[in-house]
Amino acid sequence: MTTVVAQGTFDILHPGHVHYLEEAAGMGDELHVIVARRENVTHKDPPILSNRQRRAMVAALDAVDEGHVGHPEDFFVPIREIDPDVIALGYDQHHDEEQLAGALDEAGLDCRVERASGREQVHEDELLSTGKIIDRICRERCD
């Protein structure tokens, strides 16, 4: 059995997230998703929704076998516990595949790193970014 781990913030689920997770699920037999803890998100604005709520939403998707919340201090703790064969990165995630593969190797974790493709915009008004969804809400609903 091939176990895959995908990870991300998943603040507001959108079709891009679903595409990423479905493609990640297709890389193996079992998909575990690690949701970044709010306090650990430093490369962009922290998520609006709680860790618990984002994990529950991701875990409810058909492609996901199990959802997890990341460790408060060590990125590798849940990866060690899951022991995946593949780490699936989203097409636009900020991680560098080679650096991540090197860090996994240094941590004694034997798994490959693959990057999912991006989802093409099907409709002109479709939003595939949490930031763009929030921007539209603010434009159309905020004073």
- Does residue 15 have a known ligand-binding role? yes
**Running DSSP on this structure, what letter comes out for residue 56?**
H
The answer to whether 16 is a known ligand-binding residue is yes
92 annotated as belonging to a binding site for a ligand: yes
Q: Are strands 66-69 and 30-35 parallel, antiparallel or unpaired?
A: parallel
- Residue 9 annotated as binding site: yes
Structure tokens, 51: 């860790």
CA distance 70 to 94: 17
What H or E segment, with its residue span, contains residue 82? helix 76-82
The answer to whether the CB of 1 falls within 8 A of the CB of 83 is no
Helical H segments across 28-91, by residue range: 51-59, 76-82
Residue numbers in the known binding site are 9-10, 14-17, 92
Binding-site residue numbers for ATP are 9-10, 14-17, 92
